[in-house]
Structure 1
Amino acid sequence: MVYLTRVEHFNAAHKLYNPEWSDAENAEVFGKCSNANWHGHNYELHVTVKGDPHPETGFIFNAKTLGVLIKDAVIEKIDHRNLNMDVEFMKGKFTSAENLAIGIWNELKPHIEKEGAILHGIRLYETPKIYVEYFG
């Protein structure tokens, strides 16, 4: 089994806020991330697929095709957007990095399987010091 990872970048704003809680409770749990005027991140997205190399190409997945797929299925929907308000696949969800990674997985998985590979994992850096990983 061979693993291939493609790295992409996007920028997005969001707010972590539970409407069931008071502003003080939100501030205590989410800190600056509950700012009423939102905040943003320069995200780094790692998408890893796995499979066996094709005998005619040596690829498990064409890296250029993977880049186009990620851009079309995910980046175009979230780049320079408000994750809470503008991104359909995040509607009604807390826009934590964890939930965003799951949402990205769900957007990509059918496209990757259609191309004959297996989606192995999503690694999403929210900051250079914080990232989440999701393996389905």
Structure 2
Amino acid sequence: MILLTRKAEFSSAHFYWVDAWTPEENERVFGKCANRNGHGHNYTLEVTVGGEVDPVTGFVVDLKLLKDILEKEVVSVYDHRHLNYEVPEFASTVPTTENIAIAIWRRLDGKIPHSTLHRVRVYEMPDLFADFYGESK
């Protein structure tokens, strides 16, 4: 098996908030990130797939197809959106880097032909990222 990674980028706004908590508790736990107006990031997404190299094409996966899947399933949904208000999976889930990585995995799992989703890495900033390797089975 060989692993192949493709990058994509999107810009989104978000804030951290737990409705069951008081505003004071949200501010204590999340600090500036609890500002309900939100703040934005330029995210970098890395999606790693694994599989066998096709002996004819030399590919693990059709690179254009992978790019198109990332565009359809992630970039077109997340780019220039306020995650809390415009992306359904974050209506009741805090859109942390960790939860974004999990949500992207769920959007992509089973949709990339002839390969296995191996890792989703989401960079919120150059020095902050989360890796997700799938649901525990």
Same fold (TM over 0.5): yes
- How far off its partner does 1:89 sit? 3.0
Instruction: Provide the rounded CA distance (Å) in 2 between the counterparts of 1:26 and 1:48.
Output: 34
Runs of 4+ in 1 over 3 A off after TM superposition: none
Alignment RMSD, CA only? 1.0
The alignment status of 1:17 with 2:9, answered yes or no, reads: no
Q: 1:131 aligns with which of 129, 132, 135?
A: 129
Structure-1 separation of matches of 2:20 and 2:90: 19
Q: Give the direction of change, closer, same or farther, for the CA distance of 1:110–1:86 in structure 2 (3 Å limit).
A: same
How many Å separate the matches in 1 of 2:36 and 2:83? 14
Aligned to 1:40: 40
How far apart are residue 91 of structure 1 and its match?
Answer: 2.8
TM-score by length of 2: 0.93
Q: Deviations over 1:70-112 (max 9, x none)?
A: 0011110110001111112333211111111111001111211
In structure 1, stretches of 5+ residues that fail to align are: none
SS in 2 for 1:126: strand
After superposition, the C-alpha distances for 1:1-27 in whole angstroms (9 at most, x for unaligned) are 111000110000111011222222111
Percent identical residues: 41
Report the counterpart of residue 53 of structure 2 in structure 1.
53
The 2-side partners of 1:130 and 1:55 are apart by: 38
In the alignment, structure 2 segments of 5+ residues that lack a partner are none
| TM-score normalised over the length of structure 1 | 0.94
Aligned residues: 134
Q: Secondary structure at the match of 1:84?
A: helix
